[in-house]
Structure 1
């Protein structure tokens, strides 16, 4: 027997060890006294077991009973503890069931609201276009560097709502019963329509809407009176001056990008540069304030920024050069 692996429990369950503790067996006493002299690694377990056993051994009338109780206690350590169910009243059970149902309903509602409030987004990079079909059948063509988004439930109520950053051409489907379609720009104005086609530009420096067909209402964020637009009209707000301009224009000039073209019709060089920067994500500078007032007329294919700028420079009788990552238009 390898007693060096014994634990306190093992010692207390060993008959020879119990006889040693009780002093009832001289051979057992001699054995365990000799065993201790060898300084076994579990000597502390032996001494603890001996202490416990001698405590019980001091109660002579109940020695055997105590040892049996101790043995039963040790053996019961590995037994599973019985679970005694507590009596539960019917009222308490009903309360628990009701609370569980309410909790489940609350979790489902919270999950539904979270899902509904998530946004679906559509994006384009520089010099890219993308056609988006909305849940109501309306169609949006996104121009370069633009983002269109709407909530998952944005088309399920009494109003259809989308948000635009950049530029897009909208073909809004007319619905029966009448369901307003609203474009939120988060900057200068919102556009509300029933069924129409228009181009909306929501860029960092300029916010513009051009109506092709139908009728739209433009509501401004600074509480100025709303504007109801007719086909062929333009409304724009300059971001720096907040000045509002409304005038009649050639609507196709402002959606020429749908045909992969720049269409300039007496367009100031400043506006031309803004369009090129937004299309390609480049930086263009004009060398001289007077040059910025110069106008350009022509139709140019949207290709590479270098090619477009060379064509603009030719139309304006200017020269273009590139320094690091900046294009510069100048007289010389």
Structure 2
């Protein structure tokens, strides 16, 4: 059974039943269905856009007010006559022009980021598919943002900045212009045409290469520059101490599974699973017993909500799930229930 567009729209809005979610999950196992999935996801998100302030328009209005200030109303009390001063028209005009120029410079400085760059963001458990001006595509995970220049992209450079998780499918240009992803401070991912994923967080990052070649450049003020050439199947981590760690021959069948709401684990400690739940769904998760953090999990789970994923994890690890103050708490079967 193939799901209809209306069913997918209900799924994106979080209104699909468990049976409907199972139908969509089986449909997504076919590679030919994924392109249509992202087309409908993009169409749904365009129908329910996020609020984005039009900074450029408001700045133009501000500049217009400086150029044509509103005339002041006549005072109720007539001022006493004073002796006329020598004409200072030229000086006054110069002062007004200087004031306007200063205001424009100050306003341009404070608003330079939104004027020069476009930023695409996603909220909690929101996916977004983006097509860049050069034909490259980006799948953006929840709680992530991608920044790209408003002018000159594809002409002067193809450099974007990422915070969060994304999968890139980069188009090779006849000019051989490289594509650069600026991740966490000091780490740049440079490619000519390839498919790879980047996870960028504070002082930590992860790059997984599915096809093509990638050059990693990492340089900070406190350590010498590091360069690393990746090949398909490589996975590189940047740890909190600024070290690049290469792991070859990784399982790329799970590459970017979060795009399909699949959560894959391979001997993953429960503390890392908890961190993913917090990041993707924006909810707080607690372990009643700190020893549970060392429990490990292997497998793939499809989940449409934090509660659905928590229940599946509890079943696999023989745990119980409790809720208190909108927090998810994992307990051992022998633990006393936590008051709601």
Counterpart residue number, 1:124: 122
Corresponding residue to 2:162 among 161, 164, 187: 164
Distance in 2 separating the partners of 1:136 and 1:246: 30
Distance in 2 separating the partners of 1:321 and 1:274: 17
- Distance apart, 1:228 and its partner CA: 1.1
Q: Note the 1:81-160 alignment, pairs <5 A.
A: 118-160=116-158
Normalising by structure 1, we get a TM-score of 0.61
2:197 aligned with 1:199, yes or no? yes
CA pair 116-317 structure 1, distance change in 2 beyond 3 A:
closer
- Distance apart, 1:257 and its partner CA: 1.0
- Distance apart, 1:253 and its partner CA: 2.4
Distance in 2 separating the partners of 1:270 and 1:245: 21
Counterpart residue number, 1:18: none
Counterpart residue number, 1:228: 229
Corresponding residue to 2:217 among 210, 216, 219: 219
Distance in 2 separating the partners of 1:160 and 1:242: 26
Runs (5+) with no aligned partner, structure 1: 1-102
SS at match of 1:136: coil
CA pair 133-187 structure 1, distance change in 2 beyond 3 A:
same
Counterpart residue number, 2:319: 318
SS at match of 1:221: strand
2:260 aligned with 1:246, yes or no? no
- Asked whether the equivalents of residues 237 and 244 of structure 2 are also in contact (C-alpha less than 8 Å), the reply is yes
RMSD of aligned alpha carbons: 2.8
CA pair 329-153 structure 1, distance change in 2 beyond 3 A:
same
Counterpart residue number, 1:275: 276
- Asked whether the equivalents of residues 184 and 203 of structure 2 are also in contact (C-alpha less than 8 Å), the reply is no
- Asked whether the equivalents of residues 184 and 205 of structure 2 are also in contact (C-alpha less than 8 Å), the reply is no
CA displacement, residues 230-284 of structure 1 (integer Å, 9 cap, x when unaligned): 1111111233x44533213212324111222112222221221222111101111
SS at match of 1:271: helix
Distance in 1 separating the partners of 2:267 and 2:225: 30
SS at match of 1:126: coil
Report the count of equivalent residues. 224
Normalising by structure 2, we get a TM-score of 0.60
Which has the higher Rg, Structure 1 or Structure 2?
1
